[in-house]
Amino acid sequence: MWERGFRGSTPTFPPDCSCHFWTMSLEATNEKLQAKVNALLLQVQKLEMEASGSSKQSTAPKREKITQMSSEVVDTNPYSRLMALQRMGIVENYENIRDFTVMIVGIGGIGSVAAEMLTRCGVGKLIMFDYDKVEIANMNRLFFQPYQAGMTKTDAAKQTLETINPDVVFDAYCYDITSSRNFDHFQNLIKNGGLGGNKSVDLVLSCVDNYAARITINTACNELDQVWMESGVSEDAVSGHIQTMLPGRTACFQCVPPLIIAQGIDESTLKREGVCAASLPTTMGIVAGLLVQNVLKYLLEFGQVSYYLGYNALNNYFPSEIVRPNVECVSRQCRSVCKKWEGKWQPAVWVSPAERARHEEPVDHGDNEWGISMDSDGEDEEANEKKQQQEERGGGMEEDLINALNGSSTAPVAAATSVPTPPPVEQEDEASLEDLMNALNGL
């Protein structure tokens, strides 16, 4: 230890110390004080945002609930443009969407946008899961507002979505589904959380950003034979994908694991302090749109459902595949449900109503100015039979001709083939090939 003295305002240092050490000590103290000041300023700002946000929410006008969807085209009908899909023949019964329950796990860049889209589409019930809070760092994405910073993502989402469409039933749960104490409750909600209770949800959407949560959803859905859809965006924020998981029919998440997991690398070791993945609201919005479009096609039964659809922004590439289950999947539940569905499912191929009607209706060629007609099927069959008989008869002609040349034929070759009978030729008991050829040339 050393003692510090002052001459006026200038400190004196013992011979074994340097001015550099003293400067660093002051800088460290200043940084700590500045960090505390910044934290206090942020806390004050957050309180101001929450106060202004709550006042906005309380003063924002809310429409009354609508008991039945209508296709009436008026400015006060929020469903008129959705019901137009029914009038145009795209969807048979759009109002059925109010009977469906969708569970969204992960209310982040994809999940929050997907929740808003489904809310605006008028889905019957939304169940949302997330354990994180809204941060200012999330403002580069869509949906969340700065005044919601500090709120749980589920509460903030429910607050906003109820204002957008009060007809939708919202359930929000803020906990980690990967923990053992929460898994049973999570799985029970899949099994009994449907609209009205005592029935399963219609679809589970995975919008999470880690492998453990995906495995948890995969396990729960395989055990319940529950259809779910998986989605994700790459760390460089320029590609993404969606995938429909039909347990026992298409590959589960463990049938084809990510390359990093397949190589045995721990996902947690990839994260570094001060380094985060890139995030573009454009890519996340596109993937969320593809996901919800697939949800609507699956629930309302129109169009071709995408079993796997990728997106690469750099080269505008949209790969589409059907990924089959892996018979050697590490998931015991997956192998079990595969036996249940073995030989009972084929990928659905959608045919538009117009195309189906075109194939079913008879072909009308209009006026036949030139009197062109086509043979009936009966005439074609008769001609084929005659052709077959001629071929069979032709196959026997060669044998009869050779026998005739050998003098041993008993069939009337001349009458059957209209070939004149050759003059008798003196032959030995066994005619050589050259003699036969000469006899044929003499015909």
Residues recognised as catalytic: 276
Q: Look at the alpha carbons of 366, 372, 376, 381 in this order and tell me if their dihedral is positive or negative.
A: negative
Contact between residue 187 and residue 173 where contact means Cβ atoms under 8 Å apart: no
Nearest to 309 by CA among 288, 330, 334, 337: 288
Contact between residue 136 and residue 149 where contact means Cβ atoms under 8 Å apart: yes
Which H helix or E strand runs over 299? Answer: helix 281-300
Strand partners, 310: 241
Tokens of residue 14, six digits: 């013992």
Nearest to 311 by CA among 330, 287, 291, 331: 287
DSSP string, 352-372: -HHHHHHHHSPP-----TT--
Cα–Cα distance, 290 to 350 (Å, whole number): 18
Half-sphere exposure of 314 (CA within 13 A, CB side): 6
Question: Which residue type, as a one-letter code, is found at position 54?
Answer: S
Torsions phi, psi for 47 (to 5 deg):
-65, -40
Q: Which residues, at least 6 apart from 157, have a Cβ–Cβ distance to it below 8 Å?
A: 107, 112, 115, 128, 130, 143, 172
Q: What number of other Cβ atoms are within 10 A of residue 6's Cβ?
A: 8
Strands 203-206 and 101-105: parallel
CA 361 from chain center: how many Å?
A: 34
